[in-house]
Structure 1
């Protein structure tokens, strides 16, 4: 698979060379030009992408080890976890979980977690095995902007705790932070008032889009703040406002080549597949199909 993808990159670069201005075709720099073209083409292919394990939560509850092994076989190179009731390491020690993922060639880059409880312990254990992020996935709709201002302060404090242990803190959005509240958009407030050195953001592209906002515009408006992204497509067969409307990536209405290109150009480093609704397929089958889409995507 890796050889096939290298071939795709080289072929794309060779094809792009036919359209290079003449000044880039000078014999004295031919090897340099090809290298630059290959590098340019390669930025449009994702060598590494992950799966949010919540997408296969039932399978994780039954047999987390077998599920993670299957996910690795689909071509994912990264996983993002969640707390399914047994902690983010699924009843294993952090070092045991790392051994499992390492043996499968997977990077356990991040996990959704309750950052309001036992954060010090979680941060210490996560950092000890080389995880990059602990992510707050939910604060819920609030009654006023004053509530979000308090949450803003909480995030800065939680980010400071994570930093002390050598790991990063991020917040994952749902749609409610993109809905006007007291004349403000809460997510804008969080982006503009959290400390960039302490708080990063994971953009759930589906929820931004479902809230009526443009993910690309947000990525460009706040460069380097959305360092992680959920790749989750939206079905065109349902009402646009339907909250539970995700579908297999590439079969919905979201323009992921454009979204991911904007992400790569503006500081997004991790691209994590997520799907929560399954029609005519199983979560594991969907995970496999989503991996195939991500491997074939060129943008």
Structure 2
């Protein structure tokens, strides 16, 4: 276990450094911050949302993320939401600017042109169709799920000010593995979870359980923190790999405490992975692991939890002419041991997860949906085909995971949610 834990710490150190060094540099990419479903805050000085917000706004991506269709609805005295603005905002590559065209509910049409002066600040100058300046609108992104808009007249007097909070839908039950935003979680777990909930994530999976805590919080505290962010704490990756797989006392001691801690946190499943597979030489060693996983799985089931094995690439190595992953699938009890398909690592290993879904139906109740960069950007993995086999695999928990970035991690995981929600889960 010491070797495995040290390797994990080294990887996380590299990951934490990487998460510090990304920005959103292009006008096109910066515009994507405005995509999603938004609602107005109670007032511009707070990010709190009223039970029935005064304004709802939908910003939908078009044309490979080059433009957004924006629809704004306002609540009237009868608590009905009626349209007050409809526009298209897009990136023009020839001028490297943001261009808009739209109209309001009174039938007044307008155009707008502007740009991001920084990652967080965007300014647009609106004109009527005669070319007369009508209003300048400044956008100030507090973070990836919180933006303040303010309109100014031609003398730079403030006309209005509104704060929008992202409120993407959760109806498709998409989760996130928190390693994707590990450094953000270490710095500010509460605010990071709030942003993930606003992005549309329904639940989280952790990997940092240690000494009975999660990110320095007790199981009960972390559960409350996640739920206040509008999500659930459903899964946890745990790591205990004793050299003696027959040491029943050590196994019971560690796993009983782990299980009870996670029950307090409200999780539905525990998962584990194996960092020692490259060193295995015999079928007996594989069988020892299967026996061990069966014991853990039975203990979890007795306590109302599921136990899931998570793959990397080493599971597809051969031991005495047998593929490790196949042996695990064939020699663990389906009543006790499920599998979490990490689609990216299967691709790295040169196997197609669909083949495994067909051969071992209903064993893969969880998926980690990960790409070589942001989801769908590499073009190397046929996610659309893989997602046709959800029913065959038996998947119940679909989680996004990003571990290599083109942008800041919290922006990247928002793009991952959009890709799964709009492109893969029809």
- TM-score, with normalisation over the residues of structure 1? 0.76
Query: Partner residue of 1:188?
Result: 326
CA deviation profile, 1:106-159 (whole Å, cap 9, x unmatched): 121101011447211111121234311111123422322322211111101111
8 Å CA contact retained: 2:194, 2:230:
no
1:38-49 aligned at under 5 Å gives the runs 47-49=172-174
Query: Could you tell me how far 1:178 is from its partner in structure 2?
Result: 0.9
State how far apart, in whole Å, the 2-side matches of 1:75 and 1:86 are. Answer: 30
1:174-213 aligned at under 5 Å gives the runs 174-213=312-351
Pairing partner for 2:288 from 138, 141, 150: 150
Query: Could you tell me how far 1:271 is from its partner in structure 2?
Result: 0.6
Query: Could you tell me how far 1:225 is from its partner in structure 2?
Result: 0.5
Unpaired runs of at least 5, structure 1: 6-44, 234-245
CA deviation profile, 1:188-218 (whole Å, cap 9, x unmatched): 0110110111111101011111111111111
8 Å CA contact retained: 1:83, 1:90:
yes
> Structure 1 or 2: larger helix share?
1
State how far apart, in whole Å, the 2-side matches of 1:288 and 1:186 are. Answer: 35
Is 2:166 aligned against 1:60?
no
Pairing partner for 2:297 from 155, 159, 170: 159
Query: Partner residue of 1:262?
Result: 389
Query: Partner residue of 1:136?
Result: 272
State how far apart, in whole Å, the 2-side matches of 1:283 and 1:87 are. Answer: 27
Indicate the RMSD between aligned Cα atoms, in angstroms.
Answer: 2.3
Q: 1:124 to 1:78 in 2, by over 3 A?
A: same
What SS class does the counterpart of residue 201 from structure 2 fall into? coil
Query: Could you tell me how far 1:87 is from its partner in structure 2?
Result: 5.3
8 Å CA contact retained: 1:46, 1:294:
no
Pairing partner for 2:239 from 109, 114, 135: 114
Query: Could you tell me how far 1:165 is from its partner in structure 2?
Result: 1.9
State how far apart, in whole Å, the 1-side matches of 2:171 and 2:354 are. Answer: 18
8 Å CA contact retained: 2:344, 2:369:
yes
- TM-score, with normalisation over the residues of structure 2? 0.55
State how far apart, in whole Å, the 2-side matches of 1:109 and 1:198 are. Answer: 18
Runs of 4+ in 1 over 4 A off after TM superposition: 1-5, 84-88
CA deviation profile, 1:54-98 (whole Å, cap 9, x unmatched): 111111122222211111121111111111757552221211211
Pairing partner for 1:69 from 165, 180, 194: 194
What SS class does the counterpart of residue 206 from structure 1 fall into? helix
The count of aligned residue pairs is 247
1:237-276 aligned at under 5 Å gives the runs 246-252=372-378, 253-276=380-403
State how far apart, in whole Å, the 1-side matches of 2:197 and 2:232 are. Answer: 10
Q: 1:84 to 1:157 in 2, by over 3 A?
A: closer
8 Å CA contact retained: 2:362, 2:392:
no
State how far apart, in whole Å, the 1-side matches of 2:387 and 2:185 are. Answer: 28
> Structure 1 or 2: larger strand share?
2
Q: 1:232 to 1:46 in 2, by over 3 A?
A: farther
8 Å CA contact retained: 1:126, 1:167:
no
State how far apart, in whole Å, the 1-side matches of 2:184 and 2:172 are. Answer: 26
**Which segment drifts farther, 164-173 or 183-192?**
164-173
State how far apart, in whole Å, the 2-side matches of 1:266 and 1:171 are. Answer: 14
State how far apart, in whole Å, the 2-side matches of 1:230 and 1:76 are. Answer: 14
